[in-house]
Structure 1
Amino acid sequence: MTDDDVRREDLPVPDYDHLPIGSLGHRIRSLEADEIDVLRRYEEAHANRVAVIQILDHRLLDLAEGQRPSGGDAAAPAAETAPAPAGGSSASPDTAGPPQNPPSHGVPTNPSQPRR
């Protein structure tokens, strides 16, 4: 299989193209070396992001040095964003402060500017 043969559908991590780089290291911990190699070849053939290549190479090195894939499932959907708040904002026109106008600059009656 050449670099051009790796298709998005063949990737061991679903929605790989849309993962934040910061979560990639966590998502690939459960993968075997051959699965990480597939991701690396796909990355090189498509986006070729240096930071992603480094993360994948580092994990391949860890596996070569004897580390084992961790438990978990790289294909499981991850909560990449915080959940929405349970309720809406308690702010309303009734809780708003009085309207304020910014001070005018250069007017001698403005008490925030000293007179010269």
Structure 2
Amino acid sequence: MAESGRSTLPLPDYDHLPIGGLESRVRSLNAEEVEVLLTYEHEHADRLAVNELLSHRLDQLRSGARPTSGDPSALRPEQGGHRAGSPVTPATSPQPFGPPPHGTPDQRGKPKGDRT
């Protein structure tokens, strides 16, 4: 079996793939590549859901399943193009407003004056 270092993994940016993206992308791997991922997963994050997913796929391949193209629309963080941070812009943010008339914990409200 191949070395289980990050640079030898068959899926780029494997560590950052959400399980939904991983599930559809492992369909394109052969049994040896799935074994590499499974070994890497055991040695590093050892996530139960990922171990089960990879073990199940490995069983399928050993039972005669063939690699497929997988889901081309699966999340692919290595392709970039995704925005990080808040989607809020000055155009979509709310108008600023003052504190409520009764004040806030650090700014007490002003008395209304003499009400007679």
- Asked if Structure 1 and Structure 2 have the same fold, meaning a TM-score greater than 0.5 normalized by the shorter chain, the answer is yes
> Could you tell me whether the CA contact under 8 Å between 2:13 and 2:77 is conserved in 1?
no
Of 6, 17, 20, which aligns to 1:19? 17
- TM-score by length of structure 1 reads 0.61
Distance in 1, matches of 2:56 and 2:77, equals: 24
RMSD: 3.6
Partner deviation per Cα, 1:43-86 (whole Å, 9 max, x = no partner): 11111111110110111122223221112699xx82588856xx
Work out whether 1:40 is the aligned partner of 2:42.
no
Distance in 1, matches of 2:69 and 2:57, equals: 15
Gaps of 5+ in 2: 84-88, 103-116
- Say which SS state the counterpart of residue 27 (structure 2) adopts: coil
Query: What residue identity is the alignment partner of 2:36?
Result: V
Counterpart for residue 51 of structure 2: 53
Would you say how many aligned residue pairs link Structure 1 and Structure 2?
A: 98
- Say which SS state the counterpart of residue 27 (structure 1) adopts: helix
% of aligned pairs identical?
46
Partner deviation per Cα, 1:23-61 (whole Å, 9 max, x = no partner): 111111100011000000011111111111011011112
- TM-score by length of structure 2 reads 0.61
